[in-house]
Structure 1
Amino acid sequence: MPDYEYDLVVIGSGPAGESAAVNAIKHDKRVAIIDDKESPGGNCTHVGTIPSKALRSAVNSYLRYQENPITPELKLGQRVQYQDLLKNVSDVIKKQVSMRSRFYTRNQVRYYYGEASFISKNELRIRADGKTSNQITAKDIIIATGSRPYRPTDIDFTHQRVFDSDTILHMPFTPRRLIIYGAGVIGCEYASIFSSLGIKVDLINTRSRLLEFLDDEISDSIFYHMMNRGVTIRHQETFQSLETREDGVCLNLESGKSIRADAILWCNGRTGNTDTLNLDSVGIKANHRGQLEVDKGYQTNVENIYAVGDVVGWPSLASAAYNQGVAAADTAILGDKTHYVDDVPTGIYTIPEISSVGKTERELTAAKVPYEVGRAFFKDTARGQISGQSQGMLKILFHAHDHSILGVHCFGREATEIIHIGQAIMKQKGKANSIHYFINNTFNYPTMAEAYRIAAFNGLNRLK
């Protein structure tokens, strides 16, 4: 066998790359990570999930303070500045980088700073600051380079009033009015964040409803709450052109509408970071969005090269990426292809947030599955009343005959935490997967978990 420097090299230090590297270390392999950022964490830590969720948390804290009757002085029209909220973002990023750096030191993972590209299927070139700094060899290679916002060529993203989901984290001013083009997950998250700060938001949706992959009732709820926050939502609109000037922008739509604002945030899709990898040298082709095709073991068409995370497309979630990285390392080291990640909860960090797992009512109706619905409104829970979390709902879909849980959908504060209780029961086998669990077992009181008991009684009472 050739004497490679490393058993495994991972390109990218985000959630997928980190979990792959650490898993390989646990199997006593020689491991290295290459990343084009000087400090670890990948796009997730530096420009994606972590900073956007830290920003959302800061906005939520501001809202709680503003809505608390103990602090009426903030109701006199005082506005928080966007730049002040970004200080919290910077602090969280520093903590994440420090923690992840300790991971690599403790596990003896070699970290290379630079941009990686293939020389052959076992050789990589690393360029840092425009210069070749290293060439390394590895038995197996995992591509975990993440993604970046899609940028159409006819939009000038260098303009001071034009942003994407990366650069918006460095916006140097607080706009009075903001256009967000694209009403997917990222667009909706930022629409709720900025509207909560009192900024007028025009949300441009190319489809007929918001987040149409969600249960219809949940989709309607986020639509209502955004409208209530002052967001103007424009459905079935298509980009035509963008005019920019020193003090603002004008978005022209195919429908003939022209919308003016202080700035625009473009949130219409993402592109896999694969264009600099020199994939042609190893016979791998990316699709038009820079994504790679893999099998159930995250193996590409080249036997020793794997891909995980955003570069393989769906579900493009940090939560799934961690498991994908572990699965790819297991395939490379053990030949184990049994851990394909295909069932994950949805977490959308709007204000209020959304989370779901399993089937929607539309899907169950189309499949002609007899089901019933149990609902609990947060305003009817003791914890919701105590904490002021009156907005929100938990919804359980269960089989009308055997009472097995088919789907759980939650809208409201802490929805992404609450969902895991339902997920855990739904994943049980046989009779253990039953809505009766929430009636036959005792939960702490008062907690938001009380919503499961209320929803269970509500649903079962419909059957009587």
Structure 2
Amino acid sequence: MKHYDFVVLGAGPAGRRAAIQAAKLGRSALVVDDRSKVGGVSVHTGTIPSKTLRETALNLSGWRERAFYGQGYRTRDKIEPGDLNQRIGKTFDYEVSVLEHQFARNGVETVNGRGSFIGANRIAIETDIDGKVTHDEVEASKMLISVGTRPHRPAHIPFNDHNVLDSDTFILKPRMPRSLTVVGAGVIGLEYATIFSALDIPITLIEPRERLLEFMDAEIVEHLVHSMRERGITLRLGCSLSHVHFSESGNPICQLADGRLIGSEMVLFAAGREGATSGLNLAACGLEADKRGRLEVDRKTFQTANPNIYAAGDVIGFPSLASTSMEQGRAVACHAFGNPIEADDQAPPYGVYAVPELSSVGMTENDAREAGISYECGIARFRETSRGHIMGLESGILKLICDRETRKLIGVHVIGEGASELVHIGQAVLNLGGTIDYFVENSFNYPTLAEGYKVAALDLWNRLEVRAARPEKPCEDSGSGESLSEGPQRSAA
């Protein structure tokens, strides 16, 4: 039986980063993944293909140019499924080749097979090559479970992988339905609903909760909801799905708990995911997953109840981001082999690649209120910046939240073009303990959307100065962000 220092189950962001880090520390590492290619959910059915689909849809539809050329503007008159699949396929091949090269360069071994526990430090691996099934066993000093998640598929939903699909089957071969009903307005559901809306496909979105994206700032989410309604997306919030049946023509019909019927050519069920742990035989190593297949870990070391077995990535739950999963994987390898790193207590950025994008870091207004922080907000609207006007942006805002007493930046929230890129400027200032004065006192390239940080900071500065000058008689705020006090003023340039 072959022995490794480190065996990783799952080749997604957490697994690959952990294996490579272990190899860099001079340890032997093996990655076992049951897919035909490395990359995990992120590369096969998650982050990479969905974001590639988004970019393809926006480019082919001419979405970004419609403010100038009209809502009827199209880059291509007719968009076929092959147009969507072509770019996804090219991106997939590139990502896989990069990962394979990284594994080879660092001496990490990989096996395409199904791994399961047969002991606290032993793994059975079943491989199927051209119909020939083989079984091997390996043992390891340390192990990492990073198998990711799979779509939640309730028994009462008639999935058929044709016109009632989950998010994995939906992205494998994306089509262009005449109409689409999306069940579940979490991150995945919102992304696909707004992407296909940009392709001018009628969308109905069903969500049992009254509010979308509860972990994000309410004002930012309000802008998203307004944008969706303006584009004709039908929102059925506070409504739960009772069941799905089919019309005489074979099209699915969703019946809501209140009796309403929603017909469409296709239904995408995107209401939750569960840990892909059912085939791991966790009992053999003394572990047990929760009812959604997720594992409990020490959030500082990522150790499970068995200290030699770690878990990281989506399989341990929130925040379930590729970026945080990578850092978790690196932390696992460092801790496992005597090079522990400090737990990252800095605020990570969140990104929702809907149309428009949303991204945030730090506290929301609600977080600040619950923490008892006296705070203030400043806003910059993309359409009021020169770069935004050049780009034809009609919507989008950048919002800063600061502590009124210390002027420290405590939250950054962005919705609009490039939000997931812009947020990193605020992330750096926030995590380094900076104040809004950084944005006021430093110059930004002009014209850029990043200049919105200065506009929002000046808005904040003026609000803070007005309140400080006359605390006994609060000034009525016109909403323009300007004040009568002395201080930095917005330049007409």
Moved more, 33-42 or 169-178: 169-178
Code of the residue aligned with 2:309 in structure 1: it is: I
Moved more, 54-63 or 239-248: 239-248
Q: 2 CA distance for matches of 1:342 and 1:301?
A: 26
Q: 2 CA distance for matches of 1:72 and 1:287?
A: 48
User: Map of 1:31-50 to 2, 5 A cutoff?
Assistant: 31-50=29-48
- What residue in structure 2 maps to residue 155 of structure 1? 157
- What residue in structure 2 maps to residue 437 of structure 1? 438
Code of the residue aligned with 1:415 in structure 2: it is: A
- What residue in structure 1 maps to residue 177 of structure 2? 175
Q: 2 CA distance for matches of 1:31 and 1:77?
A: 48
Q: 2:314–2:320: 8 Å Cα contact kept in structure 1?
A: yes
Secondary structure of residue in 2 paired with 1:174 = coil
Question: How far off is 1:71 after superposition?
Answer: 9.9
Secondary structure of residue in 1 paired with 2:277 = coil
Q: 2 CA distance for matches of 1:79 and 1:207?
A: 36
User: Map of 1:345-364 to 2, 5 A cutoff?
Assistant: 345-364=349-368
Moved more, 333-342 or 6-15: 333-342
Q: 2:22–2:29: 8 Å Cα contact kept in structure 1?
A: yes
- What residue in structure 1 maps to residue 20 of structure 2? 22
Q: CA 1:175/1:34 → structure 2, altered by over 3 Å: closer, same or farther?
A: same
- What residue in structure 2 maps to residue 300 of structure 1? 304
Q: Does 1:371 align with 2:375?
A: yes
Q: 1:207 aligns with which of 206, 209, 223?
A: 209
Q: 2 CA distance for matches of 1:286 and 1:157?
A: 25
Secondary structure of residue in 2 paired with 1:413 = coil
Question: How far off is 1:78 after superposition?
Answer: 3.0
Code of the residue aligned with 2:379 in structure 1: it is: R
Q: CA 1:65/1:458 → structure 2, altered by over 3 Å: closer, same or farther?
A: closer
Q: 1 CA distance for matches of 2:135 and 2:344?
A: 35
Question: How far off is 1:330 after superposition?
Answer: 1.2
Q: Does 1:420 align with 2:424?
A: yes
Code of the residue aligned with 2:377 in structure 1: it is: V
Q: CA 1:323/1:448 → structure 2, altered by over 3 Å: closer, same or farther?
A: same
Code of the residue aligned with 1:21 in structure 2: it is: A
After superposition, what is the alpha-carbon deviation per residue over 1:58-108, rounded to whole angstroms, capped at 9, x for unaligned? 112133476275799845993423442221111111110111110111111
- What residue in structure 2 maps to residue 319 of structure 1? 323
User: Map of 1:324-403 to 2, 5 A cutoff?
Assistant: 324-334=328-338, 336=340, 338-339=342-343, 343-403=347-407
Q: CA 1:446/1:21 → structure 2, altered by over 3 Å: closer, same or farther?
A: same
Question: How far off is 1:265 after superposition?
Answer: 0.2
Q: 2 CA distance for matches of 1:425 and 1:183?
A: 31
**Matched-pair identity in %:** 40
Q: 2:220–2:413: 8 Å Cα contact kept in structure 1?
A: yes
Q: CA 1:76/1:120 → structure 2, altered by over 3 Å: closer, same or farther?
A: closer
Secondary structure of residue in 2 paired with 1:126 = strand
Q: 1 CA distance for matches of 2:152 and 2:53?
A: 22
Q: 1 CA distance for matches of 2:424 and 2:440?
A: 17
Q: 1:86–1:169: 8 Å Cα contact kept in structure 2?
A: no
After superposition, what is the alpha-carbon deviation per residue over 1:111-166, rounded to whole angstroms, capped at 9, x for unaligned? 11101000111111111238343211111000010101100012222252111111
Moved more, 132-141 or 416-425: 132-141
Q: 1 CA distance for matches of 2:71 and 2:274?
A: 45
Deviating beyond 4 angstroms after TM superposition, the runs of 4 or more aligned structure 1 residues are: 68-77
- What residue in structure 1 maps to residue 8 of structure 2? 10
Q: 2:68–2:392: 8 Å Cα contact kept in structure 1?
A: no
Code of the residue aligned with 1:247 in structure 2: it is: G
Question: How far off is 1:225 after superposition?
Answer: 0.7
Q: Does 1:310 align with 2:308?
A: no
Q: 1 CA distance for matches of 2:159 and 2:72?
A: 39
Secondary structure of residue in 2 paired with 1:449 = helix
Q: 2 CA distance for matches of 1:142 and 1:386?
A: 49
- What residue in structure 1 maps to residue 250 of structure 2? 247
TM-score (norm 1): 0.95
Moved more, 266-275 or 70-79: 70-79
Q: 1:162–1:264: 8 Å Cα contact kept in structure 2?
A: yes
After superposition, what is the alpha-carbon deviation per residue over 1:383-434, rounded to whole angstroms, capped at 9, x for unaligned? 11122233200000001121001100001010000000001001114xxx10
Secondary structure of residue in 2 paired with 1:166 = helix
After superposition, what is the alpha-carbon deviation per residue over 1:318-375, rounded to whole angstroms, capped at 9, x for unaligned? 0100000001111111162632567321100001100011111122123331111111
Q: 2 CA distance for matches of 1:47 and 1:299?
A: 27
Gaps of at least 5 residues in structure 2 are: 467-493
Q: 1:272 aligns with which of 275, 278, 293?
A: 275
Gaps of at least 5 residues in structure 1 are: none
Code of the residue aligned with 2:228 in structure 1: it is: M
Q: 2 CA distance for matches of 1:121 and 1:171?
A: 39
TM-score (norm 2): 0.89
Q: 1 CA distance for matches of 2:76 and 2:336?
A: 58
Q: 2 CA distance for matches of 1:25 and 1:114?
A: 21
Q: CA 1:314/1:341 → structure 2, altered by over 3 Å: closer, same or farther?
A: farther
- What residue in structure 1 maps to residue 461 of structure 2? 460
Q: CA 1:117/1:341 → structure 2, altered by over 3 Å: closer, same or farther?
A: farther
Q: Does 1:259 align with 2:230?
A: no
Code of the residue aligned with 1:256 in structure 2: it is: G
Q: 1:125–1:132: 8 Å Cα contact kept in structure 2?
A: no
Question: How far off is 1:204 after superposition?
Answer: 0.3
Q: 1:51–1:89: 8 Å Cα contact kept in structure 2?
A: yes
Code of the residue aligned with 1:448 in structure 2: it is: L
Q: 1:324–1:341: 8 Å Cα contact kept in structure 2?
A: no
Code of the residue aligned with 1:119 in structure 2: it is: I
Q: 2 CA distance for matches of 1:66 and 1:248?
A: 34
Q: CA 1:341/1:84 → structure 2, altered by over 3 Å: closer, same or farther?
A: farther
User: Map of 1:102-181 to 2, 5 A cutoff?
Assistant: 102-129=101-128, 131-171=133-173, 173-181=175-183
Q: 1:79–1:197: 8 Å Cα contact kept in structure 2?
A: no
After superposition, what is the alpha-carbon deviation per residue over 1:25-70, rounded to whole angstroms, capped at 9, x for unaligned? 1100011100011211111001110000000011121334762757
Q: 2 CA distance for matches of 1:20 and 1:290?
A: 21
Q: 1:181–1:204: 8 Å Cα contact kept in structure 2?
A: yes
